[in-house]
Structure 1
Amino acid sequence: MNAAEGREIRVLLVDDDEDDYLLTRELLQEIPGEAYVLEWVNDPEAGIREIVREGYDAILIDYRLGARDGLEIIREAIAEGCDAPLIVLTGQTDPDIDVRAMKAGASDFLAKGRFDARQLERSLRYAVWRKRSQYALEQAHYELEAANAALRAEVAERRRIEDELREREDRFFSFMNNGIHYACIKDVEKGQYLFINKKCEELFRALGASHPGEYASALPEETWRRIREADAEIFRTGNSAELLISIDEPGGAERFLQCYRFPITEASGRRLVGVIAMDVTAPRRAEEQVHVLNGLLARRVEKLAALRQIDLEITGSKALRPTLGVILEQALRLLQVDASCVRLYDPHSYALEYVNGRGFRGGGPAGKAIRLGEGPAGRAAFERRMIRNPEPAPGEMSSLGVDGPDDEGFRVHFAVPLLIKGQVVGVLELFHREPMEPDEEWLEFLDALANSTAIAIDNASMFDHLQRSNLELATAYEATIEGWSHALELRDRETQGHSVRVTEMTMRLARAYGLKGADLVNARRGALLHDIGKMAIPDAILLKPGPLNDAETELMRKHPTLAFEMLSSISFLGAAIEIPYCHHEKWDGSGYPRGLKGEQIPLSARLFAAVDIWDALSSDRPYRKAWPDERVHAYLREIAGSHLDPRVVEVFLEVLVPKVDVPV
């Protein structure tokens, strides 16, 4: 933390020796670029009360405070809720003091008279950094929980929309099942009926068929031949077909049915035939009335089929433009207008932007944005109601955002707002070159089409937002991991650049070994965090220039287990723990922390172990120069089969490192 930024590091010293206080104050003043505020308490009991106060960034405690034990004070302070890092000061030479201090809860210890300002700064900096890193990790956890809650809310909203679509389909089938007409849906390839309404079922039973398997025999072969030909034709052309059939009832009466057959192609590719039939026995004697009723039925069924096709497109596609293309084509065909387009509302610019259109001779509305409240489309969005412009004046079409008004020649214009939960998401526009007076049925279908368009826009927007949220979370994860790796290298400057090098080499080796996809991602994360457990190792041990004693060695060998404890609670790093936890295991079972042997060791850890040894021996260190390539080659071959997986060493030396002549 820089003093130039106006922020200070508050340090409390609990020590009964005033000389130690004066010396500590002088050392803190020697630290450049930092603003330290040192407070001193020389009474052990007052020290405990002061320790538990909030606001200290670090606390220095004398190992001996008169008759009191400094470690006992540490335990009492932690029990009282102290969360500041505690550093033990001692003038004793007992080699086990560091271990006892760590067990009591201290984050570090310093030997009196044997540390300078630089060592004091490093100990304080690490202690403060560790406290703030823990806070940052907890904050990231809370943010992740909030993001997950937002994602769950989005998923719930998506399910609500899907439930709404299913409810509309249920209403459709309920209408068809309880209507006055015969209705059924058939799988033409399997010859199975997927839906038969009550009236149709009653008809087949009246003809002597007790179940669907006998329906074919209930009608004459000639009738079934005409039905099969009609079905083949509608799937060849994509158009619906009308078929008039006659039925001889058991009592001898003749009944005429006007059948309307239309194709239904599901998103899975399965081909179905929808059938609506009406009894035209009486109307057949009045052909004009039959024609009117048949036309009305055909239009209604075709519109229902169009809405079902649109619903299937919405649920089966996540891309907006193809779905809007289907909707606009249906608008031209079933509403019998010359052109149509959709504009999306941009809440940042308060404007309607053209996104897709059909039927325009020229460029159409492309590139022309309409502000909220301007023109019929802007008014429709602002007032949340349909705007009809029956007779646009010459030149007025330019205000509608359409190029070339003279070429287009539109005479009628409709603008319908697209609403989701009362919020405008766009406008559906229809254009026609002849005067028209739509009836109630036409307006109802336009309203249904607008509802489907709004759902399609909302569905695509939700999917895009979900993808963007996932990408942002993944990016944050990777940045956090790289930050942890960089922090480790800042602490241990002897291995600066080591994590980046071994990570890149591990990725190359993993690809050569055939790892792909998620396995590569987890290997990269594990390589970056391979020494994350050393965060919990005190500087006095991690940076000790000489050899470690037995207690220090035992503590150092715990860093893989500490890594497992630190990372196992983080779900997205669960599969990346293999390298931090197992990279010190050996092929012959003599490694640590668990003594795994052979292929019990995860593959990613075996790959990393070879790379880690290669980089360590090939890099300069303060205590030795880098080994030449041929010596590293020879050493890797020497430990293959004992320390390293022989196959891994073979691939590593064959594919990734320079070829050298190794003496046999």
Structure 2
Amino acid sequence: MKIEELNEGFYEKLLTIWEKLNASLELDYILRNAMAYLEEVLEAERSSIWELDEQKEELFFRVFSGGDRDKVEEIRLKIGEGVAGHTAMTSAPVIIEDAENSRLWSVKVDERTHFQTKSILSVPLLFREKVVGVVQLINKKNGGVFTGRDLRSVEMMCIPIATALVNAKLFKELEQTFMETALALADAIEKRDRYTAGHTRRVTRYAMWIAEEINLPAAEKKWLALSGILHDIGKIGIRDNILNKDGPLGSGEFETMKQHTVFGAEIVEKIHSLGKVVGGILYHHEKMDGSGYPKGLKGEEIPLFARIISVADTYDAMTTDRPYRKGLSSEEATKELEKMSGSQFDPDMVAAFLRRIPREVRDAN
């Protein structure tokens, strides 16, 4: 597409990207598409978005086109270093017609990628007059140079990109705060049960091992982690004399203990944004053959998060000492999981855990 062909279609596309940037949970995907569109419109060979790490006062790649992402992951530019660093320092755009002979240019990226940078259009990402990153277009095709019109097009795109980056950072901070709060709550509940110190964190860690082995999407991993953290939150409704009993529970006591899954789900489902974690909490004691509780679900009727947490929870229970029994070794516990695979546990989740646990045990020793 030639720059002269910019018309209403460009602005329609721009508005569509703005809308997606402000609404999308898959921010990096939308950012890559936005930069790909700018590459097409401005006839550039490559593009990138540098994000500012305020604490370290460094720029790092958030988006990098060209297929060499793994080669540039660790590159950092100080404020004032290179064209991107200069753009961040001055809060002003710059057009470099001959990069190799420019005093601003840094060779770091080209050295890693073996790409030859010739011309650069570098534009600051500003949010409320504060730099949050830098957008760059690299090498005008056919040996041309970037123009003022190119600059104006990029500046228009920078407005929603900057806003999206700030929103994503705020969301990540809020998400981290929420996770820490949930962990603090789980730790407080565990303090009532003197036999399960650290149980929540271990179960969550084991669940994440399984998630990694089955290639669970990153967004789902976050919900799974929260399910793991909150899976026993319902124990807040169980009496201390049952929770801390020195021996095995009687039948009536066990029926009461079983209610912790229901209590936990009732607590969490009141928070509408946590709908995805309710199944992991309510059903993590269900069994594949239908003999579990609270609903007697079978097979894939049991939500995936619950099937994962069930394996993690049982492994931790088996390997934890109790007053009336000593915990099993890791080898003994994994053999028990194998025996119950298919009847009590999802065989795929057991297999994933068994693939991972030897490596983790080996690395810990």
The TM-score range, normalised by the shorter chain, is 0.5 to 0.7
Aligned letter for 1:572?
Answer: S
Cα 1:530–1:356 shift into 2, 3 Å: same
1:240-639 equivalences in 2 (<5 Å): 263-265=4-6, 315=15, 316=17, 353-358=90-95, 459-639=160-340
- C-alpha displacement at 1:561, in angstroms? 0.7
Determine if contact 1:585/1:596 at 8 Å carries over to the other structure.
yes
User: Greater CA deviation, 309-318 or 562-571?
Assistant: 309-318
- C-alpha displacement at 1:454, in angstroms? 9.0
Cα 1:501–1:453 shift into 2, 3 Å: closer
CA RMSD, aligned part only?
A: 4.3
Tell me the distance in 2 between the aligned counterparts of 1:652 and 1:461.
Answer: 41
Tell me the distance in 2 between the aligned counterparts of 1:511 and 1:360.
Answer: 46
- C-alpha displacement at 1:656, in angstroms? 2.4
How many residues align structurally? 258
Determine if contact 1:510/1:604 at 8 Å carries over to the other structure.
no
**Is the strand fraction higher in 1 or 2?**
1
Tell me the distance in 1 between the aligned counterparts of 2:193 and 2:262.
Answer: 20
Aligned letter for 2:239?
Answer: P
* Residue equivalent to 1:224: none
Unaligned 5+ runs, structure 2: 22-30, 43-88, 105-127, 132-151
Cα 1:540–1:467 shift into 2, 3 Å: same
- C-alpha displacement at 1:556, in angstroms? 1.5
Determine if contact 1:425/1:454 at 8 Å carries over to the other structure.
no
Tell me the distance in 2 between the aligned counterparts of 1:607 and 1:454.
Answer: 46
* Residue equivalent to 1:649: 350
Cα 1:608–1:309 shift into 2, 3 Å: closer
Tell me the distance in 2 between the aligned counterparts of 1:460 and 1:530.
Answer: 37
Q: Percent identity?
A: 32
Determine if contact 1:310/1:452 at 8 Å carries over to the other structure.
no
Cα 1:546–1:514 shift into 2, 3 Å: same
> Which protein is bigger by CA-based radius of gyration?
1
* Residue equivalent to 1:640: 341
SS at match of 2:219: helix
What is the TM-score when the length of structure 2 is the normalising length? 0.57
Aligned letter for 1:469?
Answer: L
SS at match of 1:470: helix
Tell me the distance in 1 between the aligned counterparts of 2:198 and 2:345.
Answer: 23
- C-alpha displacement at 1:622, in angstroms? 3.0
1:71-82 equivalences in 2 (<5 Å): none
Cα 1:424–1:589 shift into 2, 3 Å: closer
Aligned letter for 2:349?
Answer: V
SS at match of 1:649: helix
Tell me the distance in 2 between the aligned counterparts of 1:357 and 1:627.
Answer: 65
Aligned letter for 1:355?
Answer: A
Residue-by-residue CA offset, 1:291-325 (whole Å, 9 max, x unaligned): xxxxxxxxxxxxxx6xx6985786457789999xx
- C-alpha displacement at 1:531, in angstroms? 0.5
Tell me the distance in 2 between the aligned counterparts of 1:568 and 1:463.
Answer: 29
Cα 1:592–1:355 shift into 2, 3 Å: same
- C-alpha displacement at 1:456, in angstroms? 6.6
Residue-by-residue CA offset, 1:234-280 (whole Å, 9 max, x unaligned): x7xx58xxxxxxxxxxxxxxxxxxxxxxx314xxxxxxxxxxxxxxx
Tell me the distance in 2 between the aligned counterparts of 1:652 and 1:364.
Answer: 54
Tell me the distance in 1 between the aligned counterparts of 2:5 and 2:349.
Answer: 56
Tell me the distance in 2 between the aligned counterparts of 1:506 and 1:559.
Answer: 20
**Is the helix fraction higher in 1 or 2?**
2
Residue-by-residue CA offset, 1:314-369 (whole Å, 9 max, x unaligned): 6457789999xx99xxxxxxxxxxxxxxxxxxxxxxxx94421348999899xxxx
What is the TM-score when the length of structure 1 is the normalising length? 0.33
Tell me the distance in 1 between the aligned counterparts of 2:287 and 2:96.
Answer: 71
- C-alpha displacement at 1:619, in angstroms? 2.4
Tell me the distance in 2 between the aligned counterparts of 1:424 and 1:604.
Answer: 43
Aligned letter for 2:5?
Answer: I
Aligned letter for 1:532?
Answer: I
Tell me the distance in 1 between the aligned counterparts of 2:155 and 2:330.
Answer: 66
- C-alpha displacement at 1:552, in angstroms? 3.2
Tell me the distance in 2 between the aligned counterparts of 1:630 and 1:452.
Answer: 62
- C-alpha displacement at 1:570, in angstroms? 1.6
